[in-house]
Amino acid sequence: MIAVEHSVPRTAGSGIAVALLVGVALALVPRAVAAEDTVTLSLTIKDHKFDPAELHAPANTPIDIKIKNAGDIVMEFESSDLHFEKIVPVGREGVVHVRPQQPGRYNFFDDFHHETQGYLIVP
Partner 1 sequence: MLAALLIVFREVFEAGLIVGIVMAVTAGVPGRTLWVTGGVAAGVLGAGVVALFTGALSELFGGNGQEIFNASILAFAVVMLTWHNVWMARHGREMAAELHAAGEAVVEGSKSLAALGAVVAVAVLREGSEVVLFLYGVAAAQGGASFAMVIGGFVGLFLGALVCLATYLGLVSIPQRYLFGVTSALIALLAAGMAAQAIAFLEQANILTALDQTVWNTSWLISDSSFLGRGLHTLIGYVDQPTAMQLIVYAATLAVMIVLMKLFGSPPERPRIAAAE
List residues binding partner 1 (CB under 8 A). Answer: 72-74, 76, 80-81, 83-90, 92, 94-97, 99, 109, 111-114
Least spacing, CB of residue 19 vs partner 1, in Å: 25
Least spacing, CB of residue 25 vs partner 1, in Å: 18
Least spacing, CB of residue 97 vs partner 1, in Å: 4
Close Cβ partners of 21 (under 8 Å, ≥ 6 residues apart): none
Task: Tell me the C-alpha to C-alpha distance, in Å, between residue 32 and each of 8, 18, 38, 60.
Answer: 34, 19, 10, 17
Q: Which is nearer to partner 1, 13 or 89 (CB)?
A: 89
Q: Which is nearer to partner 1, 11 or 80 (CB)?
A: 80
Instruction: Give the bridge partners for 98, in sequence order.
Output: 63
Q: How far apart (Å, rounded) are the C-alpha atoms in residues 50 and 110?
A: 9
Q: Which is nearer to partner 1, 55 or 108 (CB)?
A: 108
Q: How far apart (Å, rounded) are the C-alpha atoms in residues 83 and 64?
A: 12
Least spacing, CB of residue 122 vs partner 1, in Å: 13
Q: Which is nearer to partner 1, 10 or 66 (CB)?
A: 66
